[in-house]
Amino acid sequence: MLSNGNKYLAHVLVKGLKSEFQPVEKFLQDIYVNTKRLLVFVEVEESTIPILLNTLKPALLSKSEEVSMWSCRILTKLIFDMANLELLAPAYDWFTSQMGGLYSAVMCLRRHSTLKDTIVGFMLQVSRYNLNDLLMV
């Protein structure tokens, strides 16, 4: 699922498996439970942060509100833990990059307006020390 630039995984996250989203939700719930294991890779090699976040980013754009919500929860939890490990700077760079996390969060808000509290929480978490910069620029 990670070959070809994550295209198949991105397709599954956005459109589901044969338009079914329950397996995707279960997959994301398993990731949420195991975020500590993902952070082990990030601690060893800081350059994997954008790769990890880009792999999960398409779920924000999902047609399913539940999938988008789980994606936001995962990203928020990962970024909170990265901040505790003093690895927030690469995550913030990913967030503010062109077509990065901020763009996906705004697109998620357009598609699923009921997730505004969850999305804003994610945005606040990733821009924790750069909120003024984010809002001014």
- How do the domains of the chain map onto residue ranges? 3-136
Half-sphere exposure of 16 (CA within 13 A, CB side): 13
Count, residues in the chain: 137
pLDDT at 124 over 90: yes
Cβ–Cβ under 8 Å, residues 46 and 3: no
Q: How confident is the model at residue 3, as a pLDDT?
A: 63
pLDDT-derived band at 132 (thresholds 50, 70, 90) equals: confident
The candidate with the shortest Cα–Cα distance to 61, out of 50, 75, 49, 48, is 75
Beta-carbon contacts of residue 33 (< 8 Å; ≥ 6 apart): none
pLDDT at 137 over 70: no
Q: Is 134 exposed, middle or buried (0-12, 13-18, 19+ CB in 10 A)?
A: middle
Q: How confident is the model at residue 95, as a pLDDT?
A: 95
The phi and psi torsions of 20 (rounded to 5 degrees) equal -105, 130
The candidate with the shortest Cα–Cα distance to 39, out of 74, 2, 3, is 74
Which residue type occupies 88? L
